[in-house]
Structure 1
Amino acid sequence: MFWGEKNPPPRKEAVAAVAKVPFETAANGSTSQLIDSLVIRLADSQKVAVPLTGSAEAKEGQITGGYVHEVEAGLHPWIAVLDFKSMYPSIMIGHNICYTTRIDPAQSTPSGEAHGVHKAPTGALFRNQKDRKGMVPFLLEGLMAQRDEHKAAIKVAKGAGDSTSEAFHDAMQYAVKILMNSFYGVFASGFYRFTHRDLGSSITAWARQNIKGIIAAVEQEGHGVVYSDTDSIFV
């Protein structure tokens, strides 16, 4: 069936459109197939070799996840929630985290990069964006831009009283959100072709550092933190 602004897509059709896969893949396939569709297309255009399976290093045990602050039990009036917008995707973009930008510790840092690398709290190193833009950050930036466009279109449609167009762009922005949030899980896994243990562990390490920094700043201002989990805190 043809769909567009006059015929909003159901959720799976919207995901298929964003990931550029057949409907059957979006409905019955794995998340890694959705990511593969975007990553392999880009790898092909950039002349990057596509591995067949995940690396052996990626399969060595579990990585440490996000930070969870101990709950302060009781009834707390006037609780404020502070939340990082798209924390994991933002970290992957900001620190240029990708299979193609990871610097192998067995090799010396290339000349001219000594002061231009991203060093994770784990010690892992990733090339600077100016030296080499990672495929993952490139794709995530594009998806973020798509989502912003759809969200802006939702406001326009609401103002014009166009509920059909509003529903279309809402379905599309939600599909983009789903795909963006899938990147971390896939790249932190041990089975995905474009992965390494350093990727997932670096993302969560930077996330823990960020949230702990916010908690420390809030507490320094004299506010108590009731709870925190991964990318949000309750004050």
Structure 2
Amino acid sequence: MTLKHALSHTRLTGWLLDVYPDRTGMAVWFLDDEGRRFSLLDPYHPAFYLTGPQSALTAALRTLRHTHVTIRLVERRELGMRDVMPVTEVAVCEPLAFTALVRSLIRRFEPLQFYQADVSLPQLYFYDRQLFPLARCEVEVTNEGIIQSIYATDSPWDTEYEVPPLSILELSLEGASPDPNHGGIFHLVVRVDGQERRLEPTDHADLLTSFNALLRRYDPDVLITDWGDSYLLPRLLMLASQLRIRLALNRDPLRSVETRAPRSYFSYGRIIASAGARTLYGRLHIDRHNSFVMAETGFAGLIEQARVTKVPLQHMARTTTGTGITSMQLENAHRDGILIPYRKRQTEEFKSALDLLHTDQGGLVFAPLSGYHENVGELDFASMYPAIMARFNISPETVNCACCAHDPIARVPDIKHHTCRQREGLVPRTLRPLLNKRAQYKHQLAMTAGSTTRWVLDQRQTALKWLLVVSFGYLGYKNARFGRIEAHESVTAYSRDILLQAKESAEAAGFRLLHAIVDSL
């Protein structure tokens, strides 16, 4: 809907539906309190930072003079550094050109160091504007739909927030095989407004025409599919191309459906295949069979993760929870004026073989006593590793800091590392609100009787649990933006000490230990 024909005023209240880069700013799709959808434009200019040898920097700036950018010298700091350093800020006036410009500079000027150069533009926009997916907002706009100001009126840390009244159209296949990629004859089934209809067209053109009519009639905010990324949308788009019929999948008529190719990767001894993605503009597409988050936490959990991580809903549905926790760290770093390196350059400190055996022991395990046991109790620590990181200030920049090397209170149990006692680290700052919010949800669950409300609360707390679960692994992951193995080792050292203390306390109370593993006994 165009703003000047719909409104006589310039203030909107409602929800932020979708955000993506446009030629002169960020395209913002907005659902107002009266149920109207608007396409707005925020004249936002994303920025990246440069530093390096003066000769290479001068050459890069000479190249940038021929592009639509603004350049200024600013002061920022790297993670773990107390002092700021001068860097060149390059604000790109055409966000659609941001990625291509950065990649071109990286190829041409290898000696330079780039920062904030590969953060997703919607995420960078959310960080800078202090917004998040499906945020409730107030917007000041011109009659041409140009945003003058936009701010969130709720917080990602609220536990009782209003979810927008999203219109949803579900699309699936009815057939003999559970996976259409394995072959078979199928019928397209559409569910919308509590009704289900099976499309039985006379030919392919009739199928596309009927589907387009449904999209235009209901204009859904969200398209939820089964096998949409790997089968449904690729087949529909292929037919549309062959028959030269334009599918109304996008609300933005100037955009094509975004396609990401399938890929596979090795993880924990297995080859994992990903179906790629078919994402939309102005409308959201979620594939139930290509979303770990949807499978584990449901739609309410997906919304929860997108809100706290500031990862767009379509991307959060298809990415890992590790990407979510990384985004939260990136936001905290960006907000604190910390430079986010294009490629991680920190290396592991040298250790002798003896030091490696001593420090890298992992979690503590007591083998179970064989036999049949009665009157057995269990002690399980809630979110043990994330709680340790928050409680003992374990973060890449706080482990083995220069300021607390001789403070006995800062020592990590049984190994040579220590943690900072003077400044809170990036990882604890990221995890603390997650731990607090999950605790609030669990308290609400215990106090709530209604099954529907409990179901939503459980999905939300499970979504936060998964973010907390991966936070420890990413602390030691070699490719994590803010990972460091010494921090990883410090967490497991504290966990071993805490589990031993729990064992001794239980035995002092007259119990006999049967089994213990990492965070429970």
Query: 1:59 Cα deviation (Å)?
Result: 11
Q: Deviations over 1:98-157 (max 9, x none)?
A: 1122235xxxx43x88437521122212111xx211121112111122223333443554
* Aligned equivalent of 1:123: 416
* Aligned equivalent of 2:517: 229
1:173 equivalenced with 2:467 (yes/no): no
Deviates more, 1:181-190 or 1:168-177: 168-177
Percent identity among equivalent residues?
26
Distance 2:457 2:470 in 1: 20
Question: Unaligned stretches of 5+ in structure 1?
Answer: none
Q: Which has the higher contact order (CA 8 A, sep 6+)?
A: 1
Query: 1:50 Cα deviation (Å)?
Result: 2.0
Partner secondary structure for residue 232 of structure 1: coil
Distance 1:118 1:125 in 2: 5
Q: Would the alpha carbon gap of residues 5 and 150 (structure 1) be closer, same or farther in structure 2, given more than 3 Å must change?
A: farther
Query: 1:35 Cα deviation (Å)?
Result: 1.6
* Aligned equivalent of 2:395: 98
Distance 2:349 2:452 in 1: 45
Q: Deviations over 1:39-59 (max 9, x none)?
A: 111001112222322632179
Distance 2:345 2:487 in 1: 12
Partner secondary structure for residue 429 of structure 2: helix
Q: Would the alpha carbon gap of residues 5 and 27 (structure 1) be closer, same or farther in structure 2, given more than 3 Å must change?
A: closer
Distance 2:361 2:407 in 1: 27
Contact 2:507 2:513 in 1 (8 A): yes
Match among 301, 315, 321 for residue 31 of structure 1: 321
Deviates more, 1:210-219 or 1:63-72: 210-219
Partner secondary structure for residue 379 of structure 2: strand
Contact 1:54 1:196 in 2 (8 A): no
The structure with more helix, counted as a fraction of residues? 1
Partner secondary structure for residue 386 of structure 2: helix
Contact 2:405 2:418 in 1 (8 A): no
Contact 2:411 2:419 in 1 (8 A): yes
Note the 1:70-81 alignment, pairs <5 A.
70-81=367-378
* Aligned equivalent of 1:194: 482
Q: Deviations over 1:138-185 (max 9, x none)?
A: 121111222233334435542xx4x43333222212111111121101
Contact 1:25 1:33 in 2 (8 A): no
Query: 1:9 Cα deviation (Å)?
Result: 3.0
Distance 2:369 2:442 in 1: 36
For 1:15, give the aligned amino acid.
Answer: Q
Deviates more, 1:200-209 or 1:217-226: 217-226
User: Could you tell me the TM-score, scaled by structure 2's length?
Assistant: 0.39
Note the 1:1-80 alignment, pairs <5 A.
4=163, 9-51=299-341, 52-53=343-344, 55-57=346-348, 63-80=360-377
Match among 215, 219, 230 for residue 503 of structure 2: 215
Query: 1:5 Cα deviation (Å)?
Result: 8.8
Deviates more, 1:119-128 or 1:2-11: 2-11
The higher radius of gyration belongs to 2
The structure with more strand, counted as a fraction of residues? 2
Q: Would the alpha carbon gap of residues 156 and 221 (structure 1) be closer, same or farther in structure 2, given more than 3 Å must change?
A: closer
Distance 1:224 1:156 in 2: 34
Distance 1:211 1:47 in 2: 38
Contact 1:208 1:230 in 2 (8 A): yes
Distance 1:58 1:113 in 2: 16
How many aligned residue pairs are there?
A: 223
How large is the RMSD of aligned CA atoms in angstroms?
2.9
